[in-house]
Amino acid sequence: MSVLDDLKNLLEVDVEETIFDAQLLLYANSGIAYLKNNAIPVTRIEANTLSKEWELRDGDYDIVLAWLHLYCLQRFDRTLMTSAYKTTVNWIDSEMTNLIYQLKARYDK
């Protein structure tokens, strides 16, 4: 499966449905730019980009994917912008911080 398909699975978007692909690719590539600026060896993705195209160490794809999932979720799920979801937003921010620190510990030297 492609990186986009993996993201769609985590976001609970039907992999066969392509209506959100352009939007998800924009969000994902924005997040990937952030990761690249933090010395994580990832490149922009397209609909068919495979994880093996990234030069990540064993197990780090899952960490990158988890971070990208939360990054995209924050932008894709507009209900998170309401005050009713403040606890969820705080948890997402905390989890994203933990994930980026895990990656920076390995790559940002």
42 CB contacts (<8 Å, ≥6 apart)? 32, 35, 36, 54, 56, 64
Q: Are 11 and 24 in contact (CB under 8 A)?
A: yes
Could you report the average pLDDT of every consecutive run of 10 residues in the chain (109 residues)?
Answer: 96 94 97 97 97 95 98 89 86 97 92
Note the pLDDT of residue 69.
97
Per residue in 22-52, pLDDT (tens digit) is: 999 999 999 999 999 999 999 999 999 999 9
